[in-house]
Structure 1
Amino acid sequence: MKPSASRGITRPTGWRPPSNTASETGLARLAKPMKHSLFGAAALGGLLLGLWFGTVGCQTPTSSSQGLALFNGRDLAGWTHVLEDPTVSRETVWSVRDGILICQGKPTGYLRTTNRFTNFRLFVEYRWAPGKEPSNSGILTRIQPPDRPLPRCIEVQLRHGSAGDVLGLQGMRVAEGQPRFFEARGNPVAGDISGVRKLMDAENPPGEWNLVEILARDDVYTVWVNGKLVNEARGVTRAAGPIGLQSEGGEIHFRQVRLVPLPSRIEVR
């Protein structure tokens, strides 16, 4: 599938801006992703973010009006890894080919950035390996120590059929009492889990590229999948931590991983 180009990021073919038909209170009031240029000029970005949050002073990052390319398309500079089996090399699980980051999915673990982020707008393009069974993965955010195969973090789920779920793992919290909330305590791998399930299914067929957009602002996470608003989770644990890409079960490909840091409205300790 040939992607259609846009300034700063490539959107998959068939991408559509989110509609205004979300039926749940709160979701219908959320802002759309930027329609024409995800990373416009700093002034325009600041204005739009100000409208979103009622704060006129928000600005795009000073490092680049195009955001930060966490994956450079050539190698894994700026990333480190954690694997369930420490005797397995990083190269056995992750490789870069033709600008695509390929994850074999076994053993369980993740790549994570060496830099830490609290508030951000994150764009991740992924697909399940063409011709293979789709499986499980996730975008791990605000990762906390210690390193372990499934860390304490806030995960945006990529598991086939569940893309867009927001989960707090190992005791990281998502507030209860909101629509689609769920929790499970004492999971042998993930510890105490709390989360909010996606509002709708927006994944493309297996083998096609998907674009996930995550807006993390203090204790609120908003998620779009292929331009459709699929989730809002509130009461999310605030913490600074790396961004991670999960290895969990099946081959998955990542093409663009780009982040726009955002300022905090609440002091993070």
Structure 2
Amino acid sequence: MCMKFSFVPAYLIGSLLVLECNAIAANQSETNSPPPGFTSLLNGKDLSGWKGLVGDPKSRSEMSEEDLSAAQSNADVRMREHWKVVDGILEFDGKGDSLCTVKDYENFELYVDFKILPKGDSGIYLRGSPQVQIWDPESNNIGSGGLYNNKNHPSEPLVMADNPVGEWNTFRIKMVGNLVTVWLNGKLVVDATPLENYWEPDKPIYPTGQIELQNHGNNLYFRNVYIKELP
């Protein structure tokens, strides 16, 4: 029995290899590759640009420079015990405190991919204030993305837009002045709603502050954290 062999021209083999390499590059760029105009807050290797949590905006403002510096050093040691970067993904073991940007931000647009486990409960603090909610919607009968700590303005998301627990979700968060707009997985869940001052309810939200990744005692994952500062 004779076997027939198909002839594949060399130029076609070369084209296939180029396509394969392009596909690999595209897959690699899905992690830690900010869109135009945005800056990545994660370098994919370590925790540069991040610090541990010290108190809250009010308590920090009341500390002396010396006391704040000492407290920050201790918080950074604790932070590195529980947060780490693995294969470009930020992982939290559920046993420490929030992870905070070294830099303070005023008006901005933020992209964040997150993933939680069953019964997970987390959030993103804006200007050091709670929070854009992240949690297991099946355990709470309400979706993620709402301004959970609001008392006088809407606190719940407009729709439930979460992907199943264990899958990646994407936030797009825009904050201008005291107004916050949130999209979750492409769906509008918060529409230009004031974020209230949790720490000092009689005052407006702080004009600037750090961004914090918060969690309540469960494993948590973040990737592709991109920010664009706005006028």
TM over 0.5: yes
Q: Percent identity, please.
A: 34
For the structure 1 residues 175 and 89, does the alpha-carbon distance in structure 2 shift closer, same or farther, using more than 3 Å as the test? closer
Relative distance call for 1:87 and 1:224 in structure 2 (3 A) is: closer
Q: State the partner residue of 2:124.
A: 139
Structure 1 residue aligned with 2:211: 243
CA deviation after TM superposition for structure 1 residue 208, in Å = 0.7
Matched-pair contact (CA < 8 Å) for 2:173–2:182: yes
Structure 2-normalised TM-score?
A: 0.66
Q: Specify the SS of the correspondent of 1:221.
A: strand
Structure 1 unpaired stretches of 5+: 12-37, 41-64, 144-152, 169-173, 182-195, 264-269
SS at match of 2:46: coil
* Contact 1:83/1:110, CA 8 A, preserved across alignment: no
- SS of the aligned residue for 2:52 comes to strand
C-alpha offsets along residues 190-243 of structure 1, whole Å, 9 cap, x if unaligned? xxxxxx210111111111110011010112100000000111253332420011
Paired residues, number: 173
CA gap 1:72/1:88 in 2 versus in 1, 3 angstroms: closer
Map 1:202-213 onto structure 2 (within 5 A). Answer: 202-213=161-172
In the alignment, does 2:52 pair up with 1:81? yes
1:189 alignment counterpart = none
Q: Larger Cα Rg: Structure 1 or Structure 2? A: 2
Q: Are the equivalent residues in 2 in contact too, given 1:137–1:246 (CA < 8 A)? A: yes
Instruction: Look up the equivalent residue of 1:207 and give its one-letter code.
Output: G
Distance (Å, rounded) in 1 between the aligned partners of 2:126 and 2:189:
18
Aligned residues of 1:120 and 1:260 also touching (Cα < 8 A): yes
Distance 1:99 1:200, change over 3 A: same
In 1, the alpha carbon distance for the partners of 2:100 and 2:173 equals 17
1:167-206 CA distance string (max 9 Å, x none): 45xxxxx573x5xx3xxxxxxxxxxxxxx21011111111
1:91 shift after superposition = 3.1
Q: What stretches of structure 2 of length at least 5 have no aligned partner?
A: 1-25, 56-73, 138-142, 196-204
Instruction: Classify the secondary structure of the residue corresponding to 1:89.
Output: helix
Q: 1:234 aligns with which of 193, 206, 209?
A: 193
Correspondence 1:75-154 to 2 at 5 A: 75-82=46-53, 89-107=78-96, 109-129=97-117, 133-143=118-128, 153-154=129-130
Q: Match for residue 32 of structure 1? A: none
Shift of 1:87: 11
Counterpart-to-counterpart distance in 2, 1:112 and 1:135: 19
Alignment check: 8 A CA contact 1:166 1:233 kept: no
